[in-house]
Amino acid sequence: MTKGEEMKKTIQIALVVTAMVVVSMVFAGGGVSVGDTAPDFTLGDSAGKEISLSDYEGKVVVLEWLNPDCPFVQRHYKAGTMKNLATKYSGEGVVWLTVNSTNYMDAAANAKFKADNGLPYTILVDQSGEVGHLYGAATTPHMYIINGGGKLVYIGAIDDDPRGNKDGPATNYVASALDEVVAGNAVTTAETKPYGCSVKYKK
């Protein structure tokens, strides 16, 4: 095994260990549950405009927790996972809101990430961590889907491929849930174990 291969394997192992630790933290309790009414909140976006969840009353809303420094997030954004989903389902009237609860990332940092990645959706700034704690967001990414009635119908991971090296295609839990919600059906897999980096909350 070459040094490069050894380093790659070490990084993969470290990511898996991180994911396992974070998952154990997530299920320690707190936050919201599937079936709950999604708590309303107001945050400024990367351009300084205030946006409230209640602005989208009656619409299906996806909440994605983000940290541009997280390797899990970087992998998904390099692959276009979130951007492609947001673009695909916008035609179905689905609203995609990204929340960054990273304590050291301000509006300027979020604006840069949005521009660098050509994102069609807004990034909400939650440096205080208030909204992240309200929802119990513990990983980046950590996904939530709210139906048109304001109820949480999915909470968990983006897909079933934490390491990004699954044999065969990954199951995208968010896409599957959105297909069911848009069709007016109940979500079959309403909760999964999220994976990723721990949210870097303000201490």
Tell whether 113 is covered by a domain: yes
Q: Residue 129 domain-assigned?
A: yes
- The rounded Cα 167 to chain-centroid distance in angstroms is 23
Q: Which domain holds residue 157?
A: 3-198
**Residue 161 lies inside a defined structural domain of this protein:** yes
Is 37 contained in some domain? Answer: yes
Q: What distance in Å separates the CA atoms of residue 107 and residue 142, rounded to the nearest whole number?
A: 20
Residue 130 falls inside a structural domain? yes
Query: In this predicted model, what pLDDT tens digit does every residue of 24-68 receive, in sequence order?
Result: 334 334 599 999 999 999 999 999 999 999 999 999 999 999 999
Residue 23 in this model has a pLDDT that exceeds 70 = no
> CA-to-CA distance for 121 and 119, rounded, in angstroms?
6
Residue 35 belongs to a domain: yes
How many structural domains are present in the chain?
A: 1
pLDDT digits (tens, 9 = 90+) for 119-176: 999 999 999 999 999 999 999 999 999 999 999 999 999 999 999 999 889 999 999 9
Short-list 51, 173, 175, CA closest to 110 = 51
Q: Within 13 Å, how many C-alpha atoms sit on residue 159's CB side?
A: 19
CA dist 70 and 117 (Å) reads 15
Which CATH number covers residue 185?
A: 3.40.30.10
- In a domain? residue 203: no
